[in-house]
Amino acid sequence: MRARVVRIGNSRGIRIPKPMLEQSGIVDEVDLQAEDGQIVIRAVRHPREGWDAAFAEMAQRGDDKLLDDVPSTSTWDEEEWEW
């Protein structure tokens, strides 16, 4: 698809059709990157996106237990450490 670059104040811009925005998941913010003769536009990803679901799944499997409660098989503290 071709789009015309238009003047917007001292900058330039293009219009992106609504179906293309919906398909890409772009809503309000984008991440722009210039690469070898092209501009890459990506939807902004949130660093902790999906963590709630992952933690809920861990809790269901019992993978969220503290490791401090697991008995240690190491005797290093008793044999090697000097208090």
Q: Each residue of 40-78: pLDDT tens digit?
A: 999 888 788 889 999 999 999 988 877 776 677 778 777
Q: Report domain extents, the chain.
A: 1-62
d(CA 71, CA 65): 13
pTM exceeds cut of 0.75 = no
Angle formed at CA 81 by CA 75 and CA 82, multiple of 5 degrees: 145
d(CA 34, CA 42): 12
Q: Each residue of 10-41: pLDDT tens digit?
A: 999 999 999 999 998 898 889 999 999 999 99
Yes or no: is domain 1-62 CATH 3.40.50.300? no
